[in-house]
Amino acid sequence: MAIKTKQFFGTDGIRGTVGTPPITPDFMLKLGWAAGKVFAKEGGGRNKILIGKDTRISGYMFEAALEAGVTAAGVDINLLGPMPTPAIAYLTRTLRAQAGIVISASHNSFEDNGIKFFSSEGTKLPDEIEFAIEEQLAKNVSTVAPQLLGKASRITDAAGRYIEFCKSTVESNLNFNGLKIVVDCAHGSTYHIAPSVFTELGATVVAIGVSPNGLNINAQRGSTSPQQLAETVLAEQADIGIAFDGDGDRVIMVDHLGNIVDGDEILYVIARERSRLNVDFGGVVGTAMSNLGLELALDALDIAFVRSAVGDRYVMQELLQRGWALGGESSGHIICLDKTSTGDGIISALQTLAAIVNSGQPLAEITRKMSKLPQTMINVRITDSVDISANKKVQSAVSDIESKLGKNGRVLLRSSGTEPVVRVMVEGEDIDEVAMLALELSELVTSEVGSDR
């Protein structure tokens, strides 16, 4: 039996360069219609879909196209304007909508854009719904009778609703009085929300990356470029720095010494605090890319740890299967299922700040208890999809390296799901040995499967 594959949906929605199919206005109109047809069958009575976006200039164009398509299918729309991706997940659930649509390309630059969907529960769509939407995309657009057309309205208090929700995820008696925080919003969708959340909880906030112009989202700001945040933390003599990506589902932090704190370390801080308070969260789900130092530090606290495939979708699957509440990626995509239904940068930052306040220790002191192992990753370009695990010569070399590294070392070979490369990662205790072994292995992979062999 042939395996059914999706034409448009990837592991995180649909994404690409604006103006290049499928990221075009005509496709977005049809996508809105197709989604409207599918979700009209899912709900009862008057159906409703929420649409939100980040701050990139093409969002206006695609918002209008989606609105036309959804209303043509006879489904109502609530327009949210610029809102973080996790806020749209939350509002989809609380406003009892059939679905939420996010217009965003996350941490990519403004030239890209994309679409993500949330179910009525505020979770990513199951495969069967994505397949159903793609089946509708193969049909011609048809408009319902005029009296059945969907209506569009704007939710004017969306930001305020989400701000209050974020604040509700920490104890009501907790405040951040005395903390000076630098908040970098990447000129993205948290620009009008994150500073208010932390200010209303008592912190002194220095906000950067809060002047979106449609073209500067993620430009030298945010979780993918935290250097400016680190410099500002030092210049302002702040206690902590917090950086979000363009759509607000990732967070990277900086301690008062200017050290960058990644998603692995944030996971450790949150897990350590929950363990200290005897909160039952099951264990922690990381990915194949999570630093071995996280695994070792959690083991020292008797906290269970497992790895999923790379991607927040797979972290979520593992959490749900195990009934656990905490997982994430090194990139800063942290999922706290006991607080919300999806990865949320602001809520993850709040859990970390709560740990700092409750423990009375600065972030630098807490993270010092987790020693990240040196890690080197090299991308080897390939021309065709390749199963690297089937190459006996490469696998023999991997076994030899793992023997040299011992129990505190790892080797990972992974074909990228987004670009034509094989990622060669080596991790161990000695930084020079790790770099040398990664280079040797990448050269072997290049000679065996690389595009320039």
Residues recognised as catalytic: 106
Strands of 334-336's sheet in order across: 305-308, 284-287, 326-328, 334-336
**Which helix (H) or strand (E) covers residue 153, if one does?**
strand 152-154
Cβ-contact 337, 319 below 8 angstroms: yes
DSSP secondary structure letter of residue 263: H
Non-local (6+) Cβ contacts of 260 within 8 A are 226, 230, 252, 253, 254
Q: Could you tell me where the beta strands, DSSP code E, fall in 44-105?
A: 48-53, 76-82, 99-103
Report how far apart the first and last C-alpha atoms of the chain are (Å, whole number): 35
Burial of 277 (0-12, 13-18, 19+ CB in 10 A): exposed
DSSP secondary structure letter of residue 258: S
The pair of structure tokens assigned to 337 is: 């299922």
